[in-house]
Amino acid sequence: MITLALSKGRIFDETLPLLAAAGIEVLEDPEKSRKLILPTNQPGVRVVLVRATDVPTYVEYGGADLGVTGKDTLIEHGGQGLYQPLDLQIAKCRMSVAVRNDFDYASAVRQGSRLKVATKYTAIAREFFASKGVHVDLIKLYGSMELAPLTGLADAIVDLVSTGNTLKANQLVEVERIMDISSRLVVNQAALKLKQAAIRPILDAFSNAIESNAVSS
Ligand code: PRT
Ligand code: MG
C-alpha cells in the first residue's frame, strides 16, 4: 500500500491533475466527506488528509510514504530526512514583507530602526532580516497576520501572497519579495527503497505532467 499525505484545499485540488496523470483518481471529495483516509481507484494507493504543516512529519516518520507540501512549510518546519525529488509547480505564491500603506518602510530600514514583525514564518523572517542587517522583534502568530499592522501589534508582516487581494483589502502593501514558493513532492527515504516499484511510476508520471504543463504555459 502506498499512502500519500495531502492537505485539504489548494494543495489537494492542485495535486488532483498530477494524480490523474499517474492514473490515480481519488474516490471521495474531502470537502463533502469527513473521512481522513480516502480510497483511490487503485487498490494499492490511498490518500490521507492532514494539516499542511503536518505533512513533513507524516512522511518523515512513515505515517505516509509520499506527501505534497509548500516550500514555506519545508523551510519553516524542516525537510530533513525527506527525499524531495520534484518541484510540482503548484500552489504557487511568494513570501513577502508587507506594511500599512501609510508606513514608510524604506526610511525605517534606512534609519536602522528596530522593526516589529509579526509572522507565522519566524525562521524565514529571522534569516531574511538578518541577511539585510535589519534589527527585528519577531512576534509569532498562527493566522490573520494582516491584522497585526492595522492594530499596532507590528510594523510589518511576513506572509504568503498570491493575488495580493488580501493585502489590498486590508490597506497593506507588499514592500519586499523574500522568495517564490511552490509545492514539493516529499518521499520517505525508507519507502523510496522498499516500495520503489510502486513509487517510481508515480514520480515519473508527475514529472512528465509537470514538464508538459511547463511547455503549455
Ligand atoms: O489554512 P490552514 O491554517 O488550515 O493551513 P495552511 O494555511 O498551512 O494551509 P493552506 O492550505 O492554506 O496552504 C497550504 C500551502 O499553500 C501553503 O503552505 C503555501 O505553500 C501554499 N499557498 C499558495 C498559500 C497561498 N498560495 C496563499 N495565498 N498559502 C496561503 N495563502 C494565504 C496567505 O497566507 C494569505 O492569507 O492566502 C492569503 C493571501 O492570498 P491572496 O491571493 O489574497 O494574495
Ligand atoms: Mg491557510
Sorted by where each begins, the domain ranges of the chain are: 2-91+182-216, 93-180
Residue 49 C-alpha to ligand 2 middle, in angstroms?
15
Residue 171 C-alpha to ligand 1 middle, in angstroms?
19
Q: Which ligand is nearest to the CA of 147?
A: 1
Q: Which atom of ligand 1 is nearest to the CA of 8?
A: 11
pLDDT single digits (tens) 49-107:
999 999 999 999 999 999 999 999 999 988 889 999 999 999 999 999 999 999 999 99
With a cut of 80, say whether residue 217 has pLDDT above it: no
Model pLDDT, residue 89: 98
Residue with the smallest CA separation from ligand 1 atom 22 is 91
Cα 188–Cα 191–Cα 194 angle in degrees, nearest 5: 160
Model pLDDT, residue 216: 79
Model pLDDT, residue 170: 98
Q: Which residue has the cell 504543516?
A: 53
> Which DSSP string corresponds to the chain?
-EEEEE-TTHHHHHHHHHHHHTT--BSS-TTT---SEEEBSSTTEEEEE--GGGHHHHHHTTS-SEEEEEHHHHHHH--TTEEEEEE---S-EEEEEEEETT--HHHHHHTTPPEEEEES-HHHHHHHHHHHT--EEEEE-SS-TTHHHHHTS-SEEEEEESSSHHHHHTTEEEEEEEEEE-EEEEEEHHHHHHTHHHHHHHHHHHHHHHHHHHHH-
Residue 121 C-alpha to ligand 2 middle, in angstroms?
13
Model pLDDT, residue 41: 98
Model pLDDT, residue 215: 82
> Is residue 97 a contact partner of residue 158, using CB atoms and an 8 Å limit?
yes
- Beta partners for residue 67, in sequence order: 5, 186
Model pLDDT, residue 112: 85
| Rounded Cα distance, 215 and 217, in Å | 6
Q: Which ligand is nearest to the CA of 160?
A: 1
The CATH number given to 93-180 is 3.40.190.10
With a cut of 80, say whether residue 113 has pLDDT above it: yes
| Rounded Cα distance, 55 and 152, in Å | 33
Residue 160 C-alpha to ligand 2 middle, in angstroms?
9
Q: Which atom of ligand 1 is nearest to the CA of 168?
A: 43
With a cut of 80, say whether residue 16 has pLDDT above it: yes
Cα 192–Cα 198–Cα 201 angle in degrees, nearest 5: 95
Band (176; pLDDT cuts 50, 70, 90):
very high
Q: Which ligand is nearest to the CA of 51?
A: 1
Model pLDDT, residue 143: 96
Residue 75 C-alpha to ligand 1 middle, in angstroms?
15
Q: Which residue has the cell 492594530?
A: 151
Mean pLDDT of 2-24: 98
Band (214; pLDDT cuts 50, 70, 90):
confident
pLDDT single digits (tens) 141-163:
999 999 999 999 999 999 999 99
Model pLDDT, residue 185: 98
Which residues have C-beta atoms less than 6 Å from ligand 1? 7, 9-11, 52-53, 70, 72-73, 91, 93, 159-166, 181, 183
Two domains, one topology: 2-91+182-216 and 93-180:
yes
Mean pLDDT of 161-178: 98
The CATH number given to 2-91+182-216 is 3.40.190.10
Model pLDDT, residue 208: 97
